[in-house]
Structure 1
Amino acid sequence: MIPVYSGLLPVIFLLTASQVSLAQEAVSLADRRELFVDEYLIDSLKGATLRMHTPVDEGQVLPFDLPWEGAFSAYVTILQDGDTFKAYYRGVPTAGKDGNSAEVTCYAESADGIHWVKPHLGIHEVGGDTNNNVILANEAPITHNFSPFIDTNPAAKPDERYKALGGTQKSGLVAFTSPDGIHWKRLQNEPVFRQGVFDSQNVSFWSENEGMYLCYFRSWTGKGYQGFRSVSRTTSRDFIHWTEPEPMGFGNTPYEHLYTQQTSPYFRAPHIYLAIGARFMPNRKVVSDEEAEKLGINPNYYNDCSDAILMSSRGGNRYYRHFMESFIRPGIGLQNWVSRSNYPALNLVQTGPAEMSLYVNQDYAQPSAHLRRYSMRLDGLASLSAGYAGGEMLTRPVTFTGNRLEVNFATSAAGEARVELLDESGNKLPGYSLEECRPLVGNEISKTVYWNSNPDVSELSGKEIRMRIRLSDADLFSFRFYSNAD
């Protein structure tokens, strides 16, 4: 029998060797950071669970208040380029057909991701004046959902460092490039991809992990506009020629209408694609006609409601959707329960030493339409969590590179976390047991694990091991093996 060490608490249960799954292929962790947004590395849980955390509402950061922006501004992308944060979004003051000529692509920037300005760019004339923050105009229907990214492909040309896709089903997705994210041109006149519905934000990026460009776009589970709003994926080596699309799978979770999916590599673990999207609830009406009139809501936009959800992917045509609950619930006040409000912007960005931010489109179809910032601790979307009684996780067999183990964790004053390293069969490795692990107590973004006075795990680098992580009133947000020379 393999004892489960409970630290300050009495032993609650025992895990027998027969309960350890032995015939599993080892996962190569290398020196990558691992999150707890899915069950990918988990062999078993005893008294522990995966827990999704709630972002903190930090308030409005960007009003859509210019004449060419307005109540129907949407589909925001946030990029961090060095010390500059950049926001891209559709501006259109009145409701109209998707891809109408009034739609423009607007731009704002920030030095900290918190305080934003709309520069006077002088690139396009809008309403008879070039004194505006518009980076793309007279390009309908591309400006309906123009969504850029910074191309990290080592082979990318300097004058094509930024890339973007935009368009509707009628036009197909059209590719644009830019050297600076402000001045844009078409990569070619013809669309690069046509096999989709495209009637929301369609996102693309260079995948370091898969070595190709990926595009996640709107599709439906049935023919035409039947079934559920869903997601499909296509890939490309050159951003011009794209593969036959594949519908994304969701495991055994039920289908829901996903209006946007916002799939992108997590900046601290780019092999994990996070998808913080908008769940749409058609005909779920919360706001009455009288209430809508008082709020000034467009009559066509309060018969439904939306919230934000969290999914992830590790490549291929599968999403992991461990959490069916809302990631961000609509806020207090009827203005938050309007159709197409609460749509997350694309990308998380780091806005402090221990903080990252995500942004959400709120008060849609209302005079008060704006972008709102939410904060979280780094890696803090979800955690391996256990209460006071204690719990543990046993991983699948893994290999790693490096000589140290770093964890991002939080405990109560009474709680703790410990890590044990086992061989591939689940036997304790001398010098790395729970009993020898120095208790992890506190709240740290980065803490090296010690066994007695020894943090060195280099003798295990490249070998198949398992990890047992024991928690009591604690959360583990992420871990990674690394070299202390990093």
Structure 2
Amino acid sequence: MCRCIRLQALIGLLFLIFMVPEFKAKAQVETIASQRQLFVDDFLVDQLERAELEMHRPVDEGIAFNLDKLWEGKFSLYTTIIKDGGTYRAYYRGLPDVKEGNDRELTCYAESKDGINWYKPNLGIHEINGSKDNNVILVDNQLTHNFSPFLDTNPNAKKSERYKALAGKKVTGLYALTSADGIHWVKMQEEPVLKEGNLDSQNVSFWSSSENKYLVYFRTVDSGFRSVSRASSTDFNSWDQGVEMKYGPTPLEHLYTQQTSPYFRAPQVYLAIGGRFMPNKQVVSDEQAAIMGIDPNYYKACSDAFLMSSRGGNNYNRYFMESFIRPGIGLNNWVSRTNYPALNIVQTGDTEMSIYVNHDYAQTTAHLRRYSMRLDGFASLSAGYAGGEMLTKPFVFDGSALELNYSTSAAGEIFIELLDEKGNKIPGFSKEECQPIIGNELERTVYWNKNTDVSKLIGKPVRMKIYLKDADIYSFRFY
């Protein structure tokens, strides 16, 4: 009898859990405050109906600058772009017409006032080939293989250490460097600060405002594949033990570089736009390589650019497995270690941002190329002419209005609806009360009944339902 009662109670409990909505496990409520939200992952996506997250490929804008100085050469690589106020700075490895990894590696520097037109200043720091008329900032072979700097946004950073960098190889470990002007560099200490990992590609670091510490993402190996680990520090000198980054259910691939950095319009999102390496996938024949003058070690594989993201911790979200930037037309784009993106995305216009990619590796035509995108335009919530919908997970925001970065066709439109945590319409914020959103704008405030004020919902868990027809939403934020 007792067992029957227990069985009936268990059946009743299971019924309540699976059949009655109030007894279902509550969805986690995310706190987004006034942070801009991108569609590079499914962080806020609960349901999609006839809509999808769509990746957008950058537009090729041509050569930014050639790597044609005698001390630069066809093995130049591992570029970093930094925007500091009105100055754009480029750092990259220079290596003449010899195999990489030798003692002739240098760190070179270029500059721009708009991110489009670049020049190489004669810095007068190091003597190269009998002259100081060059753009070389470092000659120390311990540091020049993969020197990777950043502009330190830590509010407590010293003015003399506005710029920081990590550089080194597996045999040396990574050294910490600082600079006041981004051109003249000194070691923070004589001993390396990080010794774990393979470290033989670009190891990138930055100050994370969302995690309140320094982070470094460095080369390791996972099951025989080139992969990524990360470590953290509060002072850039003492680092914790690195942890492997996880990629979720996606298959392992060789991630030669990863270029993880905070997106400047949404720093809580770390974007990784790196180089995917496909070993033994040969496109260029031996005969073609001979005609092109390519070193035999650098055409029996190919590579392209990928996009993934992280919101902290040791997890990447690789929502899109397709190539972010496909190799271009011509065999010069299909050799090993070409198509490697530079570190950082920078704004280069009122509506435009740019990413830079090394092209024609191991060839005399080696150069850096610029690609453009609309601001926030990595990916979008997208639906076709038939229309679609997205329902978000519950979230808490801070702000008095909602802003969209979006585009529609002339026939398209967008409606926004705010719901409570259980999915019920909130009076005053329904689809029927929303003013249709039509056009192509970076900053469009949403109106309901000719009103934009959403402040009475601050701090309350809400969901957002988006209706869209022949339209894309690239980002949104409450402000």
TM superposition score normalised by structure 2: 0.95
Secondary structure of the structure 1 residue equivalent to 2:160:
helix
* Structure 1 residue corresponding to 2:75, chosen from 65, 72, 76: 72
Query: Hey, what's the Cα distance between the residues in 1 that align with 2:28 and 2:246?
Result: 23
1:319-340 Cα offsets, whole Å, 9 max, x none, are: 0000000000000000000000
Query: Hey, what's the Cα distance between the residues in 1 that align with 2:332 and 2:22?
Result: 51
The structural deviation recorded for 1:22 is: 6.4
The structural deviation recorded for 1:462 is: 1.3
Query: Hey, what's the Cα distance between the residues in 2 that align with 1:345 and 1:451?
Result: 43
The structural deviation recorded for 1:95 is: 3.3
* Aligned 1:44-443 pairs, distance under 5 A: 44-96=47-99, 98=101, 100-137=102-139, 139-222=140-223, 227-443=224-440
TM superposition score normalised by structure 1: 0.93
The structural deviation recorded for 1:141 is: 2.6
Secondary structure of the structure 2 residue equivalent to 1:143:
coil
The structural deviation recorded for 1:261 is: 0.2
Task: Give the equivalent residue in structure 2 for 1:12.
Answer: none
Unaligned runs of at least 5 residues, structure 1: 1-16
Output the amino acid matched with 1:477.
Y
Output the amino acid matched with 1:202.
N
The structural deviation recorded for 1:25 is: 2.2
Output the amino acid matched with 2:124.
G
Output the amino acid matched with 2:435.
R
Query: Hey, what's the Cα distance between the residues in 2 that align with 1:131 and 1:415?
Result: 57
The structural deviation recorded for 1:97 is: 5.0
The structural deviation recorded for 1:19 is: 12
Query: Hey, what's the Cα distance between the residues in 1 that align with 2:79 and 2:417?
Result: 43
Matched, 1:449 2:451: no
Secondary structure of the structure 1 residue equivalent to 2:298:
coil
Task: Give the equivalent residue in structure 1 for 2:10.
Answer: none
Alignment check: 8 A CA contact 2:260 2:271 kept: yes
Output the amino acid matched with 2:353.
M
Output the amino acid matched with 1:64.
L
1:344-367 Cα offsets, whole Å, 9 max, x none, are: 000000001100000000000000
Task: Give the equivalent residue in structure 2 for 1:38.
Answer: 41
1:212-259 Cα offsets, whole Å, 9 max, x none, are: 00000000014xxxx100000000011011111100000000000000
The structural deviation recorded for 1:21 is: 7.9
1:12-58 Cα offsets, whole Å, 9 max, x none, are: xxxxx969986112111111000000001111111111000010000
Secondary structure of the structure 2 residue equivalent to 1:352:
coil
Task: Give the equivalent residue in structure 2 for 1:9.
Answer: none
Query: Relative to structure 1, is the Cα distance of residues 20 and 305 closer, same or farther in structure 2, using a 3 angstrom cutoff?
Result: farther
1:160-182 Cα offsets, whole Å, 9 max, x none, are: 11000011000000011000100
1:83-131 Cα offsets, whole Å, 9 max, x none, are: 0000000000133352x22000000000000000000000111111110
1:402-460 Cα offsets, whole Å, 9 max, x none, are: 10100000111101111100011110000100111111101111100001201110111
Secondary structure of the structure 2 residue equivalent to 1:300:
helix
Alignment check: 8 A CA contact 2:389 2:467 kept: yes
Query: Relative to structure 1, is the Cα distance of residues 19 and 380 closer, same or farther in structure 2, using a 3 angstrom cutoff?
Result: farther
The structural deviation recorded for 1:203 is: 0.1
RMSD: 1.4
Alignment check: 8 A CA contact 1:423 1:464 kept: yes
Query: Hey, what's the Cα distance between the residues in 2 that align with 1:319 and 1:193?
Result: 22
Alignment check: 8 A CA contact 2:78 2:202 kept: yes
Alignment check: 8 A CA contact 1:20 1:425 kept: no
Task: Give the equivalent residue in structure 2 for 1:28.
Answer: 31
Alignment check: 8 A CA contact 2:75 2:100 kept: no
Aligned length: 461
| Aligned-residue identity in percent | 64
The structure number with the bigger radius of gyration is 2
Query: Hey, what's the Cα distance between the residues in 2 that align with 1:310 and 1:317?
Result: 17
Query: Relative to structure 1, is the Cα distance of residues 417 and 21 closer, same or farther in structure 2, using a 3 angstrom cutoff?
Result: farther
Output the amino acid matched with 2:255.
L
Query: Relative to structure 1, is the Cα distance of residues 477 and 21 closer, same or farther in structure 2, using a 3 angstrom cutoff?
Result: farther
Output the amino acid matched with 1:80.
K
Alignment check: 8 A CA contact 1:22 1:424 kept: no
Unaligned runs of at least 5 residues, structure 2: 1-19
Output the amino acid matched with 2:82.
L
The structural deviation recorded for 1:300 is: 1.5
Alignment check: 8 A CA contact 1:302 1:337 kept: yes
Query: Hey, what's the Cα distance between the residues in 2 that align with 1:93 and 1:273?
Result: 34
Secondary structure of the structure 2 residue equivalent to 1:167:
strand
Alignment check: 8 A CA contact 2:110 2:119 kept: yes
Alignment check: 8 A CA contact 1:413 1:442 kept: yes
Output the amino acid matched with 1:420.
E
Query: Relative to structure 1, is the Cα distance of residues 97 and 67 closer, same or farther in structure 2, using a 3 angstrom cutoff?
Result: closer
Alignment check: 8 A CA contact 1:21 1:43 kept: no
Secondary structure of the structure 1 residue equivalent to 2:408:
strand
Query: Hey, what's the Cα distance between the residues in 2 that align with 1:296 and 1:74?
Result: 19
